[in-house]
């Protein structure tokens, strides 16, 4: 069965734009058909100080992979692009998170969908409302747009550009 997953990409080390592009290409090759892509945003680090700003982007991908297989492939892509998991919120070449997997809810030790705290993060909700404003969060029962309107996070975010990729 094909399911549409929403993925978040972020990079704050090295050539950040290049890492977003390489991750997107890997997702196209290994996960499925990309159906929508947000603009790229430069964002203040969330949860930490004294780090480089991130480039963040969201995309939707139609995949036949199960949520746990999707997580495994994503982690492999991250490793191939130089991701090191040294500590929580460590700087990274690439970070790929599963925000939504259709309307599925998973709460296991290794995977939580919808992604926990997405409703508290401006760097997630701004691009999410760009591409899926009316999508309803399956646990909170509110649209992404509503979540953004209720957001108290005031971290800095600015649109950098829209990347045209072959969907």
For the chain, the C-alpha Rg in angstroms (whole number) is: 15
Separation of alpha carbons 13 and 92, rounded Å: 6
107 φ/ψ angles, rounded to the nearest 5 degrees: -135, 75
Q: Would you please indicate which residues are annotated as catalytic (active-site) residues?
A: 83, 92, 95, 97
DSSP E strand boundaries for 64-140:
95-101, 106-107, 112-113
- The residues near 114 (Cβ < 8 Å, ≥ 6 apart) are 99, 100, 105, 137, 138, 139
Closest C-alpha to 57, from 37, 32, 30: 37
Length of the chain: 167
């Amino acid at each position: 069965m094909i399911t549409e997953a929403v993925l978040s990409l972020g990079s704050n080390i090295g050539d950040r734009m290049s890492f977003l592009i390489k991750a997107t290409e890997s997702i196209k090759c290994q996960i499925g058909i990309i159906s929508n892509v947000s603009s790229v945003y430069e964002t203040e680090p969330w949860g930490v100080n004294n780090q480089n700003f991130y480039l963040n982007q969201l995309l939707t991908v139609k995949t036949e992979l199960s949520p746990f297989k999707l997580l495994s492939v994503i982690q492999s892509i991250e490793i191939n692009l130089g991701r090191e998991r040294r500590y929580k919120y460590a700087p990274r070449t690439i970070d790929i998170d599963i925000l939504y997997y259709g309307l599925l809810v998973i709460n296991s030790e290794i995977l939580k969908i919808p992604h926990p705290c997405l409703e508290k993060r401006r760097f997630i909700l701004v691009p999410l409302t760009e591409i899926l404003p009316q999508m309803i969060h399956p646990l909170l029962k509110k649209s992404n747009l509503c979540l953004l309107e209720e957001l108290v996070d005031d971290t800095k975010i600015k649109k950098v550009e829209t990347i045209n990729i072959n969907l």
